Amino acid sequence: MTQNQSEIPPPQQDYPYQQPPVRYAADEEVSLKELWRIIHGGRYRIILTIVFFLSLALVAGSLMTPKYEVQMLLQPQEVIGGTSSSLGGGGSALQGLSSLAGLSFSRSQLKDTALAILKSSHFTADFITEEQLLNRLFHTKWDFEKNTWSSELSAEEIPTLQDAIILFDQKIRRIKEDSTTGFITLVIEWSDPTLAKQWSEKLIKRINQRMRHDAIIEAEKNIDYLTKQIASHNNVELNRTAAGLIESQLYHIMMANGRAEYAFKVLDPPMLPELDAYVSPNWLLLVLLGLVGGSIVGLMWVLLRSDSPSKT
């Protein structure tokens, strides 16, 4: 054999083409039947798990403190008085005077300002402090016999005013606005329905008092500004317009003093809910969670404990 002949590679062998296994509907039917057989065989485990989860849900619901919801429907009030009638025929040339005095104020601005104050942390802090609600909001940590915080609490665990503000804003008070009608709904949720009703009434009373007081103070400042403008100018038309604006502000003060519901008018006062009309715990939701959770865990338990078809 020569050297050239030894370098010739051996002929390659052809292997037959193998098709991948094809899954037929019959195989899938067998798998579904096997799955149903496993589930049917472990039905008592599934039922036992569902009963266990339902029991947990019912026990958890019975341990929860019932909470009640009180609602109050409010209508934003119109702004008292105005400046257009006081400007007379020459008002178009003297609009700047009313703007400088801060007399331009619309209904939407009054509503937005009142809502912003009602939601503010400072307003909430004043309400909690003046009503002495800190120990009520964290009543589970308060020793009512000794009238102090529980001795089991460390210094870091004692609730602060900031904790009370967060709790009140996130869990107790809700404010909803209807974009179609513009009506405002104040919602208070608490374990004591009587306190929830009282808090909703006091909150609206406070915000109306606050807005009325601020409006009177602002009107008095405007009158002082306009009076100085009259004293420092000899322009007859300007002085006449300023006098009309002063008259408007005096009317504003008079009407504000006589309108208790300055920012919000109560259309539907809060009703004291019945003792069985609580919103939490939600028993239907607890039962559904127990059924779904028990079914899922029970199926997983049965499927994981079953033997695979390959071992049978």
pLDDT digits (tens, 9 = 90+) for 221-277: 988 988 888 888 788 888 888 888 888 888 888 888 889 999 999 999 999 988 888
pLDDT tens digits, residue range 178-199? 989 999 999 999 999 999 999 9
Task: Look at residue 84 in the predicted model and tell me its pLDDT.
Answer: 43
Question: Do residues 77 and 59 both lie within one domain?
Answer: no
Do 122 and 199 share a structural domain?
A: yes
Q: Is 26 a domain residue? A: no
CB 257 within 8 A of CB 220: no
Q: Is residue 147 part of a domain?
A: yes
- Please give the residue range of the domain that contains residue 55: 39-64+281-304
**Are residues 170 and 218 located together in one domain of the fold?**
yes
Percent with pLDDT over 70 in the chain = 79
pLDDT at 191 (0 to 100): 92
Q: Are residues 159 and 248 in the same domain?
A: yes
At residue 11, does pLDDT exceed 80? no
Number of domains in the chain: 2
Q: Which whole-number Å values give the CA distances from 72 to 127, 139, 159, 212, in the listed order? A: 18, 25, 29, 20
Q: Which runs of E-coded beta strand occur in 77-182?
A: 142-143, 148-149, 173-177
Mean pLDDT of the chain, nearest integer: 82
Is residue 288 included in any domain, yes or no? yes
Query: Which pLDDT score is estimated for 93?
Result: 38
Measure Cα distances from 147 to 133, 142, 150, 151 in Å.
13, 7, 9, 11
Q: What is the pLDDT of residue 17?
A: 54
Selection from 54, 89, 58 nearest residue 282 by Cα? 58
Residue 102 shares a structural domain with residue 54? no
- Cβ-contact 128, 164 below 8 angstroms: yes
The H or E element containing residue 129 is: helix 121-130
